[in-house]
């Protein structure tokens, strides 16, 4: 069987593959990242490419319109290679490889401390901050040289000196550090710096360096999200945050949610590919942060990751298969601390990698970290944490108890599964107002760029506006009103947000009844998860004193509008607290404090997991929530329906 | 520069080396092991080879007699290669690569338990035996499969089940065991066997296997001696000894004592070569034992080594340089447990390697193991342990205290540094009687073979017989007596033990005044070390109730004769106890019991080290002991001097 050359534009990357392979598979091999929500099943229609030259065979797909086909547009996942090809990847099919702009990062990280001063401000405000005892600690030691009266061995001398400064019951050292210890100690005149790493309940001498290098001790906290990977470089000596970077999780090429990725992992080399993709993204962030701060990679001694259970499995190259098979069991919720190099992370070769423990297959370490950073387990008052993402995790609790659930909201709020949906990136419509009577639309886009589509917070504003102006009824149907913006489209009736003259893609940006249905299901899933937990504990929404809204999404959210569409419960607005990326914030706390790590372990052990999928009452609540805002308006006293 | 081919006979091994290299270095590269006590300095004269063909350049050496030169005999260490060569290695220069015969092993291991029955006999005799808790334990587990009510992760499920059986506070597992745990558990229907390894104060899940493999759990105890390496395969489940092998430590090619090996280690690749040599010997023993017992190497899960401090450094490839530089500091006396594969030992790839902790640079883990196996730290009565080897370690103590010293006896008792000395192998004269008046000599050789030389116990018998028959005076001079056996030789007066007609080498086997001087120094070093310790503690030899004699050497020793020459103190003969290879016996106890390991740690910590080399009183005692049996005959009341 012949091999063919495929060149991808605008990347201008060429790869040789066997006849019959799909274009999507060739793109992945070439390191060209194409959008794909469904994992290559031809369902989502997001992996459109233009074949400029050469022969292909493609399965028919309703996702490709006749006029698109004429332009040579195909779904990369359904199209096999039959000759040498030249393939163009249009902007809307690309996963933007560039990092987010600083503005976007700032927005996404709103609610996080950005400087050590802020940490101190928090401390003085009485918020509990854990003792400073980072995952990796450097100690400068001046050892008394041996003499005929003091003849203990070099390694014991090192241990003795450390124990004069720190109380460490169990210490261990790898052979590679011992092999040339004698020479190292003598060549450095008995003045060395040891890096001590916490490995579960023991302490390891990770590194021994000549002289005093104790000022150079850095680590990174990571939030490994299904969609976005965020990393933060921290000076472990003074808790100062030196920089934060976020990048899209390039695993999106293999499917937009964890289930499609788990399925992909079962393919030949699938796990390997998913693993390398997330590691590549992490290494890219590390490289950039280290470069910008003029730090030697060898002085980066540890990594602390929070992520959902599937992401942590893929990060560590642990087979995730059984997460999606009943009874949905993770291989490990508590993962031991390992050497970062074992997973391909490029920091100091002996540096450590630790992951925040998870609760279950669908409530992961990111939620544990979130609960930690919101200090819910210290609260006397009842709290609710809602992490609005593809999974839509909800935690209810206080110092008395913690209960969690995962709502399977679907990706609509992240701009997937909705026709004009985009992730919250440059050009995404994030804030929308609709004028009464005229139905004129005003909007803001991220980066003030020409609009490319609508992100989650934009959809919430649109639905709220449509309800308020009477365009939309409580069932989610667009009323028959005479307006140039209201018309019948391919997916039922639709409302035009931006006409093509003003869009980046030169096609109308619309919301259809099908989109509205998807969003309605997503908001119903989250709301009903929350109320099911509340009722399960024989409580009432009114008992909740603090509602923490987490997720990159949350930073744009208009609370009033989110309540109006029935996503959030109708409570006093001051009870809502934006916590931004609470997973990253929690990971950083753990990176900086062994006490916080022990607390995270306690939280993960204490938190129970409530399985919604087998709970009849959840289905009832879900059905009742499939209205705007809700079937039972008594739950939404502040909302007046026209 | 040209390369030349060197062929070694009788090995018939050929190697290509650069012009100018020494023959010794070429032999080492070719894997041909030649005797060499001095580490290649041309001093010991033990590396004689015959150049059959080709050109060499050799430095002159008093070790080569003119008639030897005529036969083409050179010292391999002083002779450089100038053309293609054919080199014959005569029998006396070879390190016998064959393992010892079973007879020899039996002799060497006399005093050891050889079957589990013996262990039980010891137990019932009231001798303390440690609880059965081997370095690696296998547990067969039948896990309850997960269901919607019991959803903890696979790893936690495994931990939970283990902790239902064993109380283990700190457990850890490597990533490689976690990565496919999910599949492994399900494919084996939740029935698996875990191998638990003690790693310092934590317990590691070393291995997880499907099904019940718990009956297959093996380990090896090793004594890594400067001259001999002994290994013992043990069934860790029932303590049964499955086999024992001993082989020469091929490091002898690089020098006969630890000092010359440390010096060699400082050469380019020296440490690497010494390390590989000892590992090769160990792997050879492991391979043979495993093969004879039909055991899969993957079921060998741990190795426990006792050795002197230098041997342990070389075994682990830890730089030993500072052991021989004042103030004589080891890199590590307490070495952490590591993976055996890290040091190149071929057992289960995840199997563990642990070493018995040592006391100081010159009192190593072999002595700790010896004290453990003699249970000195449990004795109410005062005990003395004498390990007669090149180092000549002495330990004095009881449950009250333990004090040790190293005597630098030199290798005379191991057949080195004495003209007709050989190691205790086939053909070595091990027992000798000299008839009064006629001075006729009767002897036994190991393996009843034709005599090749005299080993340590043979020399003791000879000296004792010479003193008794009046041939030798108390200064160590051979008297002027008319006998065909007494004559003047190259090294002063000599006494012929076997005439060449009856020897394997067709040359006379003799003992000269120079040899006698060397042995006198060796015995004086050991005796004076013992008496210095005794006096230092303000005690008397008479206070000692048990004298343990250890070392392969000890198994042949005639106690009466050893007292007669002043090697051992003159005490009631029933106080002397042969313990054979007490180092190997102690290593096996530790392999089989974590309690014994903790005890060994206590012993190594408790035992003080007395530095003889800087002690004036030791020099006085040594000078006083340079007579047969001693200057002060009051110390030897049972000896009548003619």
Residue of B nearest to A604 (CA): B152
Candidates A502, A497, A473, A501; CA nearest to A486 is A497
Q: What average pLDDT does range B485-492 have in this prediction?
A: 90
Q: What average pLDDT does range B116-128 have in this prediction?
A: 45
Q: Do B202 and A170 touch (CB under 8 A)?
A: yes
**Taking the CA of residue A426 as centre, how many other CA atoms within 13 Å lie in the half-sphere pointing to its CB?**
16
End position of a domain, from candidates A510, A529, A552? A510
End position of a domain, from candidates A39, A66, A93? A93
Is the CB of residue B341 less than 8 Å away from at least one CB of chain A? no
Buried b (16+ CB within 10 A) or exposed e, A263-280: bbbeeeebbebbbbbbbe
Mean pLDDT of chain B: 88
Question: DSSP letter at B450?
Answer: P
pLDDT category at A252 given cuts 50, 70, 90 is confident
- The verdict on B398 and B501 lying in the same domain is no
Mean pLDDT is lowest, of A359-363, A447-451, A509-513, B351-355, for: A447-451
- The verdict on B440 and B524 lying in the same domain is no
Query: How many domains does one find in chain A?
Result: 4
Find chain A residues with C-beta within 8 A of B329's C-beta: 146, 151-154, 182
Q: What is the pLDDT of residues B173-203, one digit of tens each?
A: 999 899 989 999 999 999 999 999 998 788 9
Query: Between the ranges A37-51, B124-138, B283-297, where is the mean pLDDT highest?
Result: B283-297
Q: What is the pLDDT of residues A430-464, one digit of tens each?
A: 899 999 999 999 999 888 889 999 988 899 999 99
Residue among B156, B175, B611 minimizing CB distance to A334: B156
- Confidence check: pLDDT of A490 > 60: yes
- The verdict on B457 and B496 lying in the same domain is yes
Q: Do A147 and B327 touch (CB under 8 A)?
A: yes
Task: Specify the CATH number for the domain of residue A196.
Answer: 3.10.20.880
- Confidence check: pLDDT of A256 > 90: no
What pLDDT score does A214 carry?
96
- Confidence check: pLDDT of A377 > 90: yes
CA-based end-to-end distance of chain B: 66
Residue of B nearest to A315 (CA): B179
Give residues with Cβ within 8 angstroms of A351, minimum separation 6: A136, A197, A206, A300, A301, A302, A303, A339, A340, A341, A345
Q: How many CB atoms lie within 10 A of CB B400?
A: 10
Pairing of the two strands A382-387 and B3-9: unpaired
What pLDDT score does B358 carry?
97
Give residues with Cβ within 8 angstroms of A315, minimum separation 6: A224, A275, A278, A279, A282, A305, A307, A343, A355
Residue B382 falls inside a structural domain: yes
Q: Which two tokens stand for residue A363?
A: 């409530």
Note the residue count of chain B.
Answer: 642
What pLDDT score does B556 carry?
66
Residue A89 vs residues A11, A72, A367, B350: alpha-carbon distances, Å: 9, 12, 36, 47
Q: Which two tokens stand for residue A388?
A: 């609005």
Is the CB of residue A202 less than 8 Å away from at least one CB of chain B? yes
pLDDT category at B97 given cuts 50, 70, 90 is very low
- The verdict on A530 and A608 lying in the same domain is yes
Residue A476 falls inside a structural domain: yes
Residue among B169, B175, B317 minimizing CB distance to A316: B175
Task: Specify the CATH number for the domain of residue B393.
Answer: 3.30.420
What pLDDT score does A127 carry?
55
Task: Specify the CATH number for the domain of residue A57.
Answer: 3.10.20.30
User: d(Cα B247, Cα B282) in Å, to the nearest integer?
Assistant: 9
- The verdict on B172 and B30 lying in the same domain is no
Identify the residue whose tokens are 């004036």: B616
Q: How many CB atoms lie within 10 A of CB A421?
A: 24
Q: How many CB atoms lie within 10 A of CB A170?
A: 14
What pLDDT score does A446 carry?
82
For an interface test with B, give the residue of A329, A350, A361 to mutate (most B CBs within 10 A): A329
Residue B76 falls inside a structural domain: yes
Q: What average pLDDT does range A478-498 have in this prediction?
A: 93
Candidates B531, B527, B526, B488; CA nearest to B510 is B488
Give residues with Cβ within 8 angstroms of B14, minimum separation 6: B5, B6, B7, B8, B30
Q: Which two tokens stand for residue B245?
A: 């092998």
Mean pLDDT is lowest, of A306-320, B335-349, B392-406, for: B335-349
Report the SS3 class of residue B22.
strand
Handedness of CA B14, B19, B23, B27 (dihedral sign): negative
Q: What average pLDDT does range B319-347 have in this prediction?
A: 93
> Long-range contacts: A437-440, Cβ < 8 Å, 24+?
A437/A469, A439/A469, A439/A471, A439/A481, A439/A483, A439/A485, A439/A486
- Confidence check: pLDDT of A107 > 50: no
Identify the residue whose tokens are 């936690």: B156
Contact at 8 Å (CB) between A591 and A390?
no
Is the CB of residue B272 less than 8 Å away from at least one CB of chain A? no
Q: Degrees (nearest 5) of the Cα angle B3, B5, B6? A: 125
User: d(Cα A250, Cα A226) in Å, to the nearest integer?
Assistant: 9
What pLDDT score does B100 carry?
44
Residue A147 falls inside a structural domain: yes
Candidates A261, A567, A564; CA nearest to A413 is A567
Q: Which of residues 358-377 of A touch B (CB under 8 A)?
A: 360-361
Find chain B residues with C-beta within 8 A of A182's C-beta: 318-319, 321-322, 329, 331
- The verdict on B274 and B319 lying in the same domain is yes
pLDDT category at A36 given cuts 50, 70, 90 is low
Residue among B170, B333, B338 minimizing CB distance to A153: B333
Query: Between the ranges A42-46, A550-554, A556-560, B331-335, where is the mean pLDDT highest?
Result: B331-335
Q: What is the pLDDT of residues B429-477, one digit of tens each?
A: 989 999 999 999 999 988 888 999 998 889 999 999 999 999 999 999 9
pTM of the model: 0.80
For an interface test with A, give the residue of B178, B186, B328, B405 to mutate (most A CBs within 10 A): B178
Residue A451 falls inside a structural domain: yes
Pairing of the two strands B241-248 and B228-235: antiparallel
Residue B642 falls inside a structural domain: no
Residue among A146, A331, A343 minimizing CB distance to B181: A331
- Confidence check: pLDDT of B102 > 90: no
- The verdict on B116 and B263 lying in the same domain is yes
What pLDDT score does B126 carry?
44
CA-based end-to-end distance of chain A: 66
Is the CB of residue A173 less than 8 Å away from at least one CB of chain B? yes
- The verdict on A527 and A630 lying in the same domain is yes
Say what percent of chain A tops pLDDT 90: 63
Give the minimum alpha-carbon distance from A305 to chain B in angstroms, rounded to a whole number.
16
Q: What average pLDDT does range B29-35 have in this prediction?
A: 72
Contact at 8 Å (CB) between B255 and B249?
no
- The verdict on A403 and A539 lying in the same domain is yes
* Domain, as residue range, for A163: 136-210
- The verdict on B116 and B256 lying in the same domain is yes
- The verdict on A400 and A524 lying in the same domain is yes
Handedness of CA B193, B198, B204, B207 (dihedral sign): negative
Q: Do B178 and A153 touch (CB under 8 A)?
A: no
Q: What average pLDDT does range B28-46 have in this prediction?
A: 68
Residue of B nearest to A322 (CA): B182
Say what percent of chain A tops pLDDT 70: 91
Residue A327 vs residues A514, A606, A613, B157, B516: alpha-carbon distances, Å: 32, 20, 11, 14, 81
Candidates B542, B551, B550; CA nearest to B569 is B542
pLDDT category at A386 given cuts 50, 70, 90 is very high
- Confidence check: pLDDT of A113 > 60: no
Question: DSSP letter at B255?
Answer: -
End position of a domain, from candidates A493, A510, A527? A510
- Confidence check: pLDDT of B143 > 50: yes
Identify the residue whose tokens are 């290649």: B40
Q: What average pLDDT does range B518-544 have in this prediction?
A: 96
Residue B24 falls inside a structural domain: yes
Is the CB of residue A184 less than 8 Å away from at least one CB of chain B? no
What pLDDT score does B580 carry?
75
**Taking the CA of residue B569 as centre, how many other CA atoms within 13 Å lie in the half-sphere pointing to its CB?**
27
What pLDDT score does B176 carry?
87
**Burial class for A594, CB neighbours closer than 10 Å (0-12, 13-18, 19+):** middle
Q: Do A331 and B182 touch (CB under 8 A)?
A: yes
Candidates A216, A368, A223; CA nearest to A285 is A223
Find chain B residues with C-beta within 8 A of A147's C-beta: 327
Q: What average pLDDT does range A349-354 have in this prediction?
A: 92
At how many degrees (to 10) do helices B270-292 and B258-265 cross?
120
Contact at 8 Å (CB) between B102 and B245?
no
What pLDDT score does A360 carry?
94
Handedness of CA B245, B250, B256, B258 (dihedral sign): negative
User: d(Cα A374, Cα A586) in Å, to the nearest integer?
Assistant: 8
Q: What is the pLDDT of residues B245-275, one digit of tens each?
A: 888 788 988 887 898 999 999 998 899 999 9
What pLDDT score does A153 carry?
96
Q: Which two tokens stand for residue A319?
A: 């087979």
Higher-confidence residue of A557 and B168: namely: B168
Q: Do A178 and B321 touch (CB under 8 A)?
A: no
Residue among B151, B156, B172 minimizing CB distance to A327: B151
Q: How far is CA A614 from the centre of its chain?
A: 26
Find chain B residues with C-beta within 8 A of A360's C-beta: 151
Q: Which two tokens stand for residue B1?
A: 């520069």
User: d(Cα B68, Cα B57) in Å, to the nearest integer?
Assistant: 16
Question: DSSP letter at B593?
Answer: B
- The verdict on A535 and A572 lying in the same domain is yes
Residue B360 falls inside a structural domain: no
């Amino acid at each position: 069987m012949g091999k063919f050359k495929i060149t991808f534009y605008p990347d201008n990357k060429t790869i040789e593959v066997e006849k019959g392979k799909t274009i999507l598979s060739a793109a992945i091999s070439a390191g060209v990242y194409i959008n794909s929500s469904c994992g290559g099943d031809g369902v989502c229609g997001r992996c459109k490419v233009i074949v400029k030259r050469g022969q292909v065979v493609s399965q028919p797909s309703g996702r490709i319109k006749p006029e698109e086909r004429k332009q040579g547009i195909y779904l990369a996942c359904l199209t096999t290679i039959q000759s040498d090809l030249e393939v163009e990847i249009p902007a809307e099919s690309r996963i933007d490889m560039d990092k987010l702009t600083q503005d976007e990062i700032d927005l996404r990280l709103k609610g996080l401390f950005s400087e050590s001063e802020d940490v101190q401000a928090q401390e003085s405000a009485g918020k509990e901050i854990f003792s400073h005892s980072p995952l990796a600690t450097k100690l400068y030691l001046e050892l008394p040289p041996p003499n005929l009266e003091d003849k203990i061995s070099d390694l014991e001398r090192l241990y003795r000196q450390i124990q004069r400064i720190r109380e460490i019951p169990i210490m261990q050292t790898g052979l590679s550090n011992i092999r040339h210890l004698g020479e190292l100690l003598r060549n450095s005149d008995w003045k060395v710096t040891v890096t001590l790493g916490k490995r579960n309940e023991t302490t390891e001498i990770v590194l021994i360096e000549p002289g005093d290098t104790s000022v150079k001790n850095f680590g990174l906290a990571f939030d490994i999200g299904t969609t976005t990977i965020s990393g933060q470089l921290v000076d472990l000596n003074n808790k100062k945050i030196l920089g934060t970077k976020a990048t899209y999780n390039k695993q999106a090429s293999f499917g937009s949610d964890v289930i499609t990725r788990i399925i992909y992992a079962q393919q030949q080399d699938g796990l390997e590919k998913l693993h390398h993709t997330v590691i590549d993204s992490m290494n890219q962030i590390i490289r950039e942060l280290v470069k910008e701060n003029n730090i030697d990679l060898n002085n980066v001694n540890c990594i602390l990751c929070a992520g959902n259970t599937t992401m942590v499995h893929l990060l560590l190259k642990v087979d995730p298969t059984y997460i999606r098979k009943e009874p949905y069991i993770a291989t490990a919720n508590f993962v031991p601390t390992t050497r970062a190099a074992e997973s391909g992370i490029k920091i100091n070769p002996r540096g450590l990698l630790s992951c925040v423990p998870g609760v279950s297959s669908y409530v992961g370490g990111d939620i544990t970290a979130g609960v930690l950073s919101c200090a819910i387990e210290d609260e006397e008052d009842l709290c609710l944490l809602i992490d609005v993402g593809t999974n839509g995790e909800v935690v209810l609790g206080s110092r008395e108890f913690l209960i969690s659930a995962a709502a399977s909201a679907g990706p609509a709020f992240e701009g997937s599964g909705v026709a004009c949906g985009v992730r919250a990136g440059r050009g995404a419509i994030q804030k929308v107002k609709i004028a009464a009577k005229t139905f004129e639309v005003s909007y803001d886009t991220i980066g003030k760029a020409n609009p490319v589509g609508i992100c989650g917070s934009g959809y919430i504003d649109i639905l709220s506006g449509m309800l308020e102006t009477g365009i939309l009824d409580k069932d989610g149907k667009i009323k028959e009103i005479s307006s140039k913006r209201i018309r019948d489209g391919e997916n039922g009736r639709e409302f035009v947000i931006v006409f093509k003259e003003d869009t980046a893609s030169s096609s109308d940006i619309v919301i259809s009844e099908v989109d509205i249905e998807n969003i309605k299901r997503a908001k119903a899933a989250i709301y009903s998860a929350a109320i099911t937990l509340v009722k399960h504990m024989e409580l009432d929404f009114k008992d909740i004193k603090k509602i923490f809204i987490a997720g990159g999404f949350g930073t744009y959210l208009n609370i009033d509008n989110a309540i109006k569409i029935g996503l959030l419960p109708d409570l006093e607005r001051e009870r809502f607290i934006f916590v931004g990326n609470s997973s990253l914030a929690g990971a950083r706390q753990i990176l900086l404090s062994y006490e916080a790590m022990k607390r995270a372990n306690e939280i993960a052990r204490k938190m129970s997991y409530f399985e919604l999928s087998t709970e009849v009452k959840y289905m009832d609540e879900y059905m009742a929530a499939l209205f705007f805002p809700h079937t039972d308006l008594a739950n939404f006293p502040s909302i007046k329906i026209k």
